[in-house]
Amino acid sequence: MRTDLFDYDLPKRYIAQRPAEPRDSSRLLVLDRASGRIEHRVFGEITGFLRAGDVLVANDSLVVPARLRGHKPTGGAVEIFLLRKRDEAGREWRCLARGRGLRVGARVRLEAAPIDAEIISEGAGGLREARFSVPIGGMLGELGELPLPPYINEYAGEEGRYQTVYSRAEGSVAAPTAGLHFTPELLQGLQAMGVAWETTTLHVGLDTFGPVTAEKVADHQIHREWAEMTAETAGAVNAAGEEGGSVYAVGTTSTRVLEYCATSAAGLDPYGSVGGETGVVPYTGEVDLFIYPGYRFRAVDALLTNFHLPRSSLLMLVSAFVGQAHSQDLDAGRRMLLRTYEVAKAEGYRFFSFGDAMLIV
């Protein structure tokens, strides 16, 4: 399948520049993937689609203040975008660095504190590794800024609106945005209905949102991200399936963890034939599951997600999920999803991180 099949036109006016207030007042497009039927709702009405015994599984990763500003000894401005720690203390980091002349050996003085960073390796696309003069793992709150996506350039509100209300595990450089619509009151209401609420952790990297550049989808090299599925969450997910409940994944990141723990972590071939599954298993470590049309979902029954960027691996994952209801036509999910996106544009839905939501059942 060609990557350009996942392209679509999106004028800038559809890209949300600020979140809905309150969180659960965002719009909710509900897609029945078997019939193609579409409903237009408000997010707070999601309670009407869940029932006692169902389980919602969300990603509780917290976005860290990963954007650092500094300057070279010559005065040139530099921006360092932290991606991942290379050591436990946080002295060495994989990062993106923007500025002229940032070769190996270049030094940068941070603006927020008298701390230096030295570039110790460089790669394509601005990718670098940097060593700081002191460990900064516990200092990011004082040194850095919360990194909003580059397509959000008009928001000046509280940084906390780019965090979910249930985030707790520091490590992401981008928000798991499907969860931004939940309020504490909505979560309490769902739990009062008998809907279980469970969390996994996947620390989101920038590659999650980047376009797939390979000509053929299957040639794309998926990024690796750290994740955790606890025994408690795995047990709740498996119990829901055994007792007739549905598993609702809150976002594509939760979906990747659930499906990884139902396939690779359980010793199964993700793209092998379905059968012999034993549910999800607990897991802690890196995940590298690339889900695109042809994948057969083992753990997720319904998907809550936002509207995604053209050519992104996220759009491919959602296409695969929609297509699960049309097993004889691998391309049916992509076609239905892109038609649905055109409906969303015609109806004025807002796209991307601060945008509206989709519930796919």
346 and 222, same domain (yes or no)? yes
> Are residues 237 and 247 in contact, defined by beta-carbon separation less than 8 angstroms?
yes
Q: Residue 335: in which H helix or E strand, if any?
A: helix 332-346
pLDDT of residue 275: 73
pLDDT in tens, 110-133: 999 999 999 999 987 778 999 999
278 and 198, same domain (yes or no)? yes
pLDDT in tens, 77-99: 999 999 888 898 899 999 999 99
91 and 127, same domain (yes or no)? yes
Tokens describing residue 216? 């053929």
CA distance 200 to 203: 10
Q: Specify if 104 maps to a domain.
A: yes
Instruction: Please report, for residues 10, 209, 268, 269, the alpha-carbon distance to residue 327 in angstroms, rounded to integers and kept in the order given.
Output: 29, 27, 20, 18
CATH code assigned at 74: 2.40.10.240
124 and 250, same domain (yes or no)? no
Q: Which pLDDT band, with edges at 50, 70 and 90, does 272 fall under?
A: confident
Q: Specify if 78 maps to a domain.
A: yes
Q: Specify if 17 maps to a domain.
A: yes
334 and 292, same domain (yes or no)? yes
Phi, psi of 132 (to 5 degrees): -90, 155
For residue 59, give the nearest of 194, 158, 198, 186 by alpha carbon.
Answer: 198
194 and 122, same domain (yes or no)? no
The pLDDT > 90 percentage for the chain reads 88
116 and 250, same domain (yes or no)? no
18 and 165, same domain (yes or no)? yes
**Under DSSP, is residue 59 helix (H, G, I), strand (E, B) or coil?**
strand
CATH code assigned at 213: 3.40.1780.10
Q: Specify if 152 maps to a domain.
A: no
Last residue of a domain, one of 143, 168, 192: 143
**Under DSSP, is residue 188 helix (H, G, I), strand (E, B) or coil?**
helix
> Are residues 317 and 253 in contact, defined by beta-carbon separation less than 8 angstroms?
no
Last residue of a domain, one of 143, 175, 200: 143
226 and 301, same domain (yes or no)? yes
208 and 167, same domain (yes or no)? yes
83 and 228, same domain (yes or no)? no
Q: Residue 122: in which H helix or E strand, if any?
A: strand 116-122
Would you report the helix, strand and coil content of the chain in percent, each value rounded to 5?
A: 30, 25, 45
Place of tokens 């590794």: 129
Q: Specify if 277 maps to a domain.
A: yes
Q: Residue 258: in which H helix or E strand, if any?
A: helix 252-262
Number of domains into which the chain is organized? 2
Q: Specify if 150 maps to a domain.
A: no
Last residue of a domain, one of 112, 143, 174: 143
Q: Domain of residue 175: give its range.
A: 3-63+157-360
Q: Is 153 exposed, middle or buried (0-12, 13-18, 19+ CB in 10 A)?
A: exposed
pLDDT in tens, 166-213: 999 999 999 999 999 999 999 999 999 999 999 999 999 877 767 899
pLDDT of residue 274: 80
Q: Specify if 151 maps to a domain.
A: no
58 and 46, same domain (yes or no)? yes
**DSSP character at residue 114:** S
CA distance 172 to 82: 10
- Average pLDDT of the chain is 95
CA distance 338 to 277: 31
Q: Specify if 148 maps to a domain.
A: no
* Alpha-carbon Rg for the chain in angstroms: 21
CA distance 115 to 113: 5
pLDDT in tens, 287-342: 999 999 999 999 999 999 999 999 999 999 999 999 999 988 989 999 999 999 99
